Structure 1
Amino acid sequence: MKTENTSRRNFLKTSSAAVFTLAIPDSVLSLFSPTQKTFKIGMITDLHVDIIHDPDTRLNAFLNEMKKEEVDALIQLGDFAIPKSENMHYIQAFNQAHSNAFHVLGNHDMDGGYSREEVVKEYGMPYNYYSTEVNDILLLVLDGNDTGSPSYKSGYHSYIGPEQQAWIREELTKAKKPVLIISHQPIAGIYTIDNALEIQGLLSEFSDKILLAVNGHAHVDQYIQVGGINYLHLNSASYYWVGEKLAHLSLSAAEHDKNPSLQFTCPYSDVLFGVLILDPNQKTITLKGKKAQWIGPSPLELGYSILSPEMQKQHVNPQISDLRI
């Protein structure tokens, strides 16, 4: 396992000047307070403490860099850590790292038989979906794990139901501040929720208030715009999942023995995360990300076929990309 000093050197070596910038629409800009200063949010998703071989190193690297960045808030976008006793120190470390530390409920956070209510309680979340104001920004944290999807067949639920939709509409209708939408499952782009078009339509009604919608879950690097809303897929902190048919050893046999699910992944050499910078004076949103490398073969080299080779080359990479819009 890497030491903290090694992790720091690797961060400096592999960090990119990954900058993705887009203009904030005037309608959204008008909602900022006249005294609003630049606002920075540290964001990480899909750490998967229960799968990756070095979660301590990755989480520590993220938290240390966010302290240096002096961010105004931290958000983890789900699939963080099953709240069993041996994982509680990860949850506590995140919660104690900042006075504004927020969780999103991921589908894998409820693995091992934990209920949604149990995870919400152990994470210290106010509810499975909620709103909160930070520095004159309204965060709407959604829960894409609702049951009741008409198209559900099997596996994890990926749906935002009528009750939550009504709450979203109510929150956006009364919002007097610029809104940042946060979810685990994607609403647009790759691997979306079952009722993606329905939720896209709902959010588009309030495009004059929404800064950005950010999600995790897909372990891809993607930015798209749909219906006047900017959607950003934040890549996983740890790996891309390729499944049982492409099981392989990317690390030592001993490491795989300790972490049996690792064989179904293509791990990243270093932790990935981003810093979202909202600057109303410059009228921009900027994402600073970082790049890593594959440990072992890439999904494309293994013959992964759920996404096309073209989609993999564009979106399935161990990075939060350099992208300017």
Structure 2
Amino acid sequence: MRSQSVKKTGRFSRRDFIATTATAAMALAIPARALSSLKGMARPVKVGVITDLHQDIMHDGITRMRAFVQHMRQVRPDAILQMGDFAVPGDKNKEVIDLFNQAHRNRLHVIGNHDTDAGFTKAQCISTWGMSNRYYTQKVDDITFIVLDGNDTGSPSYTSGYPAYINEEQQVWLQERLREIKGPIIVVSHQPLAGPVAVDNAEVIQDILSTAADKILVALNGHTHIDAQYEVKDINYVHLNSASYFWIGGKFSHDSYAKEIIQAHPLIASTCPYQDPLFTTMTIDPLRSLITFEGRQSTWVGKSPMDLGYDGPYKLETVTPSISGRKILKRGKEA
């Protein structure tokens, strides 16, 4: 992949904004077993989705969130969703938290691993962001969103770093919800439930979800900052890309922005930022039996991960400053 030189600013021009939204949509075929759950839906449902803003790392997080909110005013979705690593729930982040919360009356939050950095707690996230609980269900029209918390401790295979686990208490709750919900379901988590760097007990969670494959339309996650889709036991798992950057790590530290920006926000040096903010609109269309994701294309600010010799856990084709414009017409086949 070839990097492109861009102006080192935190601003997004109207020309850039239009260019990044004018891409084809990715469409995932809803598993045949889940089609019956759509029968009660009278119209398409739209949800605006953004993940991994990392307000506490980026110098221009508020600008990226403003671009999301501006686009959502045009799209007019039925709800908006942020999938974690958003902004620690402190006073310094009130502006960006309020901007998201005031953008739509029907909003969903997911707690990411970095949202409790600097001594903040899940309880503070719940209170400050306006969540009902750390894991919960919420209706958007005829669709039930099941929001999970992948930050549980207690994993038998835990070794180091941030926990990535869904404990037994939450598993029992999930099984109960899957049994009682009658209509279509979308599962949301910050950490992946399938694919690379999934939660420690991913296979257990996949088995639980597979019992409701006749109702689950898709499972969404952030966290990885990649653009990918996997299918496990009749369920589509979609990794949505970060709004801001790909994490490259201190081994590849470099200056992508002007030195004064890096000095004020030193962790940016461990990222490969995206020139434009990434987010998507997910549309569930019962008439066409499709879930579509609006594609969005950006460019690297400075050097790309490949320019720097990236050697991490992700396939290179998934490391990209974009949300794909793919179309999957049949299971396992792509247009």
Shorter-chain TM-score tier: over 0.9
Q: What is the distance in 1 between the residues matched to 2:98 and 2:291?
A: 30
Q: What is the distance in 2 between the residues matched to 1:86 and 1:53?
A: 13
Residue 317 of structure 1: aligned partner: 320
**CA-to-partner distance for each residue in 1:226-255, whole Å, 9 max, x for gaps?**
111000000000001111111100111011
CA positional deviation for 1:180: 0.3
Q: What is the distance in 1 between the residues matched to 2:112 and 2:10?
A: 27
Residue 15 of structure 1 contacts residue 292 of structure 1 at CA under 8 Å; is this kept in 2? Answer: no
Residue 277 of structure 2: aligned partner: 271
Residue 49 of structure 1 contacts residue 80 of structure 1 at CA under 8 Å; is this kept in 2? Answer: yes
Residue 301 of structure 1: aligned partner: 307
Residue 43 of structure 1: aligned partner: 49
Percent identity at matched positions?
46
1:290 equivalent to 2:293? Answer no
Residue 95 of structure 2: aligned partner: 89
1:251 paired residue among 257, 265, 272: 257
- Structure 1 unaligned residues grouped into runs of 5+: none
Q: What is the distance in 2 between the residues matched to 1:152 and 1:307?
A: 18
- Report the 3-state secondary structure (helix = DSSP H, G, I; strand = E; otherwise coil) of the residue aligned with 2:223: coil
1:219 equivalent to 2:243? Answer no
Listed as ranges, the matches of 1:115-130 within 5 Å are 115-130=121-136
- Report the 3-state secondary structure (helix = DSSP H, G, I; strand = E; otherwise coil) of the residue aligned with 1:61: helix
- Report the 3-state secondary structure (helix = DSSP H, G, I; strand = E; otherwise coil) of the residue aligned with 2:173: helix
- Report the 3-state secondary structure (helix = DSSP H, G, I; strand = E; otherwise coil) of the residue aligned with 2:306: helix
Residue 18 of structure 1 contacts residue 320 of structure 1 at CA under 8 Å; is this kept in 2? Answer: no
Farther-moved stretch of structure 1 (12-21 vs 164-173): 12-21
Q: What is the distance in 2 between the residues matched to 1:27 and 1:293?
A: 38
1:242 equivalent to 2:245? Answer no
Residue 210 of structure 1: aligned partner: 216
Q: What is the distance in 1 between the residues matched to 2:127 and 2:295?
A: 31
Residue 278 of structure 1 contacts residue 285 of structure 1 at CA under 8 Å; is this kept in 2? Answer: yes
CA positional deviation for 1:133: 1.0
> Normalising by the residue count of structure 1, what TM-score does the alignment of the two structures yield?
0.95
CA positional deviation for 1:2: 4.5
Matched residues, number: 320
Residue 50 of structure 2 contacts residue 243 of structure 2 at CA under 8 Å; is this kept in 1? Answer: yes
Residue 163 of structure 1: aligned partner: 169
Structure 1 vs Structure 2 CA RMSD = 1.3
CA positional deviation for 1:80: 0.3
Listed as ranges, the matches of 1:70-109 within 5 Å are 70-109=76-115
- Report the 3-state secondary structure (helix = DSSP H, G, I; strand = E; otherwise coil) of the residue aligned with 2:13: helix
CA positional deviation for 1:260: 0.9
> Normalising by the residue count of structure 2, what TM-score does the alignment of the two structures yield?
0.93
Q: Which has the higher contact order (CA 8 A, sep 6+)?
A: 2
Residue 36 of structure 1 contacts residue 135 of structure 1 at CA under 8 Å; is this kept in 2? Answer: no
Q: What is the distance in 2 between the residues matched to 1:25 and 1:191?
A: 24
Residue 278 of structure 2 contacts residue 322 of structure 2 at CA under 8 Å; is this kept in 1? Answer: yes
Residue 248 of structure 1 contacts residue 263 of structure 1 at CA under 8 Å; is this kept in 2? Answer: yes
- Report the 3-state secondary structure (helix = DSSP H, G, I; strand = E; otherwise coil) of the residue aligned with 1:299: coil
- Report the 3-state secondary structure (helix = DSSP H, G, I; strand = E; otherwise coil) of the residue aligned with 1:9: helix
Farther-moved stretch of structure 1 (31-40 vs 67-76): 31-40
CA positional deviation for 1:33: 5.2
**CA-to-partner distance for each residue in 1:156-191, whole Å, 9 max, x for gaps?**
110000000001100001111100000000000121
- Report the 3-state secondary structure (helix = DSSP H, G, I; strand = E; otherwise coil) of the residue aligned with 1:140: strand
Residue 159 of structure 1 contacts residue 195 of structure 1 at CA under 8 Å; is this kept in 2? Answer: yes
Q: What is the distance in 2 between the residues matched to 1:15 and 1:120?
A: 32
- Structure 2 unaligned residues grouped into runs of 5+: 1-8, 329-335
1:7 paired residue among 10, 13, 17: 13
Residue 42 of structure 1 contacts residue 75 of structure 1 at CA under 8 Å; is this kept in 2? Answer: yes
CA positional deviation for 1:23: 2.6
Residue 25 of structure 2 contacts residue 293 of structure 2 at CA under 8 Å; is this kept in 1? Answer: yes
**CA-to-partner distance for each residue in 1:250-274, whole Å, 9 max, x for gaps?**
1110111111110000000000001
Residue 7 of structure 1 contacts residue 61 of structure 1 at CA under 8 Å; is this kept in 2? Answer: no
Q: What is the distance in 2 between the residues matched to 1:40 and 1:258?
A: 38
CA positional deviation for 1:323: 1.1
CA positional deviation for 1:34: 3.8
Q: What is the distance in 2 between the residues matched to 1:129 and 1:307?
A: 28
CA positional deviation for 1:204: 1.0
Q: What is the distance in 1 between the residues matched to 2:228 and 2:55?
A: 23
Q: What is the distance in 1 between the residues matched to 2:32 and 2:180?
A: 19
Residue 36 of structure 2 contacts residue 214 of structure 2 at CA under 8 Å; is this kept in 1? Answer: no
Residue 280 of structure 1: aligned partner: 286
